[in-house]
Structure 1
Amino acid sequence: MSGDSQRAGAGEATVTGSDAALLWPQVAEGLRRDLGARTFDHWLKPVRFADYCRLSGVVTLEAASRFSANWINERFGDRLVLAWRQHLADVRSVQVQGAAASSAVRAPIAGEAPSAPSLSADRLRPAVQSAGFAVPNVTPVGFASFDERLSFDRFVVARSNILAANAARRMAMAEAPQFNPLYLCSGTGQGKTHLLQAIAQAYAAIHPTANIILMSAEKFMLEFVGAMRGGDMMAFKARLRAADLLLLDDLQFVIGKNSTQEELLHTIDDLLTTGKRLVVTADRPPAMLDGVEARLLSRLSGGLVADIEAPEDDLRERIIRQRLVAMPMVEVPDEVVAYLVKHFTRNIRELEGALNKLLAYAALTGVRVDLALAEDRLAENVRSARPRITIDEIQRAVCAHYKLDKAEMASKRRVRAIARPRQVAMYLAKELTPRSYPEIGRRFGGRDHSTVIHAVRTVEALRVHDSELDAEIAAIRRSLNG
């Protein structure tokens, strides 16, 4: 161990920002050896030391841009923590910020003489007590992690999302929200993450010293597992429970992780009991989350569950018009706007992706945007954006083919004339939708997943030998596809 490392290890409680800045060249050199010169030089060589908070154990680094910072956090976050802990055991996390976002002290990387940074007293905010541990009242997410484009001002409101948008605004206000927690529910690309970012930014503007944690449920799970393995569970618990506003994105990714669910449940209980704010998003309502403990479902359903529906034509057109205002150098005729509105109906993300692709092509090639260009350049996007088939549509198609009432799909009747079409519908639901066996079973009168598995296997076997049934299923699929 080097002399600097020994000094850091022996005097961890008194390590200052200046000391940590002196350690960064050694940490960087170790990363260069571990990751290889090519990877290091491309991503980490431009990174500079910004700050070290002794109270929280958070090292802040500065990258050249927000894009680089996000990439490094995602790809090398855990590696950076391990590298720092070899020299400074008190480090709990490492955050990389974009250059424009960081005004902290800076030090050069390995091979350069560091400056003499200092930590002024006013930068160390008063600590708050949580679970008996001192946790600094800082904002872990920081403005560096906020995407300024994802604000309330840029969120287009319509009938399909007005409940979620208004509830999100209430959650960010100074006064206590009427409903807590707020559970935002929609399919992918409908604006859940936009609203999370907007809440965080609006709340931070009103409460500049608030402790705001915005993270994906997957990151919550990874940090929880890392804390268990590293023996840092008390610090992990204390950090989360010190949040004034906790925002968790994509909760469906903790499904089936019992220990993670248990910790999330305790965190939610503690936050709600102390009057803190909680916002959660998922791709389905709480009752549709398979493998989630009943107590956790109860907490999530206890506030307000706000659905965001598929965007209507008017909303999609207004979003396009809003984006075009920021791109005045590219003229997009009304017929192209109508083309985009017509073909990208499933979610906003696909719509914006198609628009960006078209605008980028026109800007980089100098070609005028017209309907012919849109049809040519977006043909593949249109094919992939076709609406997905739902279980409800499958049930309707099967009932229409066999001339049954749709209620029979959920009935308990087992006569062959009803049971076989029901099995066909279950089979097609598994083939044509991403839904799990338990989810499919619920849509067929609350049947057990084993019943759905039996139906799928039965129909698969029958199709091999029963040409008539095979033709019927093919006909139903054609009706669904077109």
Structure 2
Amino acid sequence: MNDTGISVLASDQSDAGDRARLDAAWTEIRVGLRRDIGARMFDQWLKPAQLGDYCPDSQTLDIQFASDFSANFVSGQFGDRLRMAWRCAGAAVRELRLVRARHATGPRVLELPVAVEPVEAAVPRAPTSNFQPRHRFDQFVTGESNQLAFSAAQAMAGEAQPRFSPLFIHGGTGQGKTHLLHAIAAAFSDHSPAAAVLYMSAERFMMEFVNAMRANETMAFKARLRAARLLLIDDIQFIAGKGSTQEEFLHTINELIDTGARIVVTADRPPQMLDGVDPRILSRLAGGLVADIQPAALELRLAILEAKRAIAGDPPVPDAVIDFLAGAIRSNIRELEGAFNKLIAYGQLTGRQIDMDFAQKMLADAVRANARRITVDEIQKVCAAHFRIDPSEMRSKRRARAVARPRQVAMYLAKKMTPRSLPEIGRIFGGRDHSTVIHAIRTIEDLRQSNPDMDADIRALQRQLEG
């Protein structure tokens, strides 16, 4: 017996059968761990570990490390994996102790025993998280504006290793980026419950890094980040201008990419427009898949409200109110959902039926905030830029197809998106007759039905003008 009261495995009193079973189990466990957490992480933290003391009476096994730091880190990051692995190995191990090897210098500090329950009672514990249950893939309504980002997020969360990493999702405030991050984390944890998932905002990343430097704990901070098998960073634009933080973030994503970990980053704009961010970071982020979320078109806003109405219960929300909300709240999905929830809450609290009068009164402030008046002049400029012609061509007498078609598109949008009458629109477009405007509107409507490219152009222009 040694000074801790545990039989020494290598002593003459040790049972050769126990030793052989433990060695065989440890060899198998190491192979599985290397596969699960990646070769680089395994080689750094678990490859040096050795089997230590074993007590056959209590079935307690020590796994030895070169330092207390290594033992504590592995206990925190991989303790559940080790416990599960030994539990499944059937090697007569009820408790694990992760300790520093006796030959290491300094006082020996033993970890508290980690109980290893029988295999039949085993229930893997999911990583601690603050992922919101309502932010799952089945609660995300898709449309043309967000389909690519949604599909890429599903691929990133799937059981199969994605063919791209990192995934960079960008879009305006309230368009669903954070929803997708939570959905990725939840779906990934469903099929890999023991895998380390780390989610934080860029501001939290900076704060924790600064605190770690002040406390002289940067090694522990780095180790925690680089142990993640899925790293999710929200609003990366806030890292701009922070030199030391950017350097650490760059090293982190390089390490994780090298180990095959999955990385998802969001921002309010694409990588090439992130001023003040290290070009090396931008290159890494753009080297995976960049997916944007455009402002939700009317069709998607209607679909989102329909989905919420289906689960809202009483009081019922009539179609007219749904149409009113979808047309009036255009700024972002978060505000749209908030407006709907406000109606339902007030209706339930007051017992009022939800009708147009009630909706208009309750949401007057939100509607006013979203009521951005679009002008014909703005439409002309946006269309000219989109079709790469001079804005003056919108009012010119030229009939060449290269300028006539963009002019017709602008007339069509002017009628759809402004309160101007047909004669007024004609006058703004170089003094044209109202019949010319009617012809333009009908031409573009027909082209939208027969020409997918034209329809896509119109949708893009509408989103730009509404945004």
Return the TM-score normalized by structure 1. Answer: 0.54
The amino acid of 1:184's aligned partner reads I
CA RMSD of aligned residues (A): 3.3
1:362-373 superposed matches below 5 A: 362-373=347-358
Alignment correspondent of 2:58: none
Q: Does 1:302 align with 2:323?
A: no
Q: How far apart in 2 are the matches of 1:223 and 1:389? A: 44
CA distance in 2, matches of 1:210, 1:272: 16
1:230 aligns with 2:224: no
User: Are 2:159 and 1:174 equivalent residues in the alignment?
Assistant: yes
CA shift for structure 1 position 249: 0.5
Q: Aligned residue for 2:332?
A: 347
Check the 8 A contact 1:350/1:385 in 2, yes or no.
no
Q: Which residue of the other structure, out of 300, 320, 336, is the alignment partner of 1:315? A: 300
Report the Cα offset of residue 335 of structure 1: 0.4
CA–CA distance in structure 2, aligned partners of residues 237 and 138 of structure 1? 24
Distance 1:241 1:119 in 2: 26
> Is the aligned partner of 1:261 residue 2:241?
no
Q: Assess, with a 3 A threshold, how the Cα gap between structure 1 residues 341 and 266 changes in structure 2: closer, same or farther.
A: same
Tell me the secondary structure at the aligned position of residue 331 of structure 1.
coil
SS in 2 for 1:326: helix
Deviation at 1:305, TM superposition (A): 0.4
Aligned to 1:184, the other structure's residue is in SS state strand
| Alignment gaps of 5+ in structure 1 | 1-51, 58-89, 91-117, 124-136, 409-479
Match of 2:176 in 1: 191
SS at match of 2:174: coil
Matched residue type, 2:329 = F
1:313 Cα deviation (Å)? Answer: 1.4
Task: Provide the rounded CA distance (Å) in 2 between the counterparts of 1:152 and 1:376.
Answer: 34
| 1:56 aligns to 2:60 (yes or no) | no
Helix, strand or coil for the counterpart of 1:178? coil
Amino acid at match of 1:294: P
2:261 pairs with one of 266, 269, 276: 276
- For normalisation by structure 2, the TM-score amounts to 0.56
Give me the whole-angstrom Cα distance separating, in 2, the residues matched to 1:388 and 1:146.
38
Cα deviation, residue 406, structure 1:
5.2
Residue of structure 2 in register with 1:439 after alignment: none
SS in 2 for 1:339: helix
How far apart, CA to CA, are the structure 1 residues paired with 2:250 and 2:131? 26
Counterpart in the other structure of 2:363:
378
Number of aligned residue pairs: 281
Q: Which residue of 2 aligns with 1:333?
A: 318
1:346 deviation in Å?
2.1
When structure 1 is superposed on structure 2, of 316-325 and 150-159 the one drifting more is 316-325
| Distance in 2, Cα, partners of 1:258 & 1:158 | 38
Kindly report structure 1 stretches of 4+ aligned residues shifted beyond 4 Å.
137-140, 387-390, 392-395
1:346–1:206 Cα change, 3 Å = same
- What whole-Å deviation, never above 9, does each CA across 1:382-415 have from its counterpart, x for those lacking one? 122345999x959938x99xxx93599xxxxxxx
Q: 2:135 aligns with which of 136, 143, 150?
A: 150
Mean Cα deviation higher: 247-256 or 321-330: 321-330
State whether structure 2 residue 121 is matched by structure 1 residue 121.
no
2:197 is aligned to: 212
Aligned to 2:162, what secondary structure does the other structure show? coil
Distance 1:255 1:223 in 2: 16
Task: Give the one of 246, 267, 270 matched to 2:231.
Answer: 246
Q: Equivalent of 2:346, from 348, 358, 361? A: 361
* 2:413 paired residue number: none
Q: Supply the distance in 2 between the matched residues of 1:139 and 1:233 (Cα, whole angstroms).
A: 26
**Which 5+ residue runs of structure 2 have no aligned equivalent?**
1-71, 78-108, 118-123, 394-464
Aligned to 2:57: none
Distance 1:388 1:233 in 2: 52
Find the aligned partners of 2:162 and 2:295 in 1 and give their Cα distance. Answer: 26
C-alpha separation in 2, matches of 1:190 and 1:389: 21
In the alignment, structure 1 residue 159 sits paired with structure 2 residue 144: yes
Q: Secondary structure at the match of 2:302?
A: helix
User: Which letter maps to 2:286?
Assistant: S
Q: Which residue in 2 is equivalent to 1:78?
A: none
- Kindly provide the amino acid, as one letter, of the partner of residue 264 in structure 1: F
Deviations 1:218-255 (A, max 9, x none): 10110011101111100000000000000001111111
- CA separation in 2, counterparts of 1:389 and 1:217? 35
Letter in 2 for 1:56: G
- Mapped to 2, the partners of 1:190 and 1:386 lie a distance apart of 18
Per-residue CA deviations over 1:250-295 (Å, capped at 9, x if unaligned) read: 1111111111111000000000011110000000000010101110
Residue 56 of structure 1: CA displacement?
3.2
**Superposed displacement of residue 180, structure 1:** 0.7
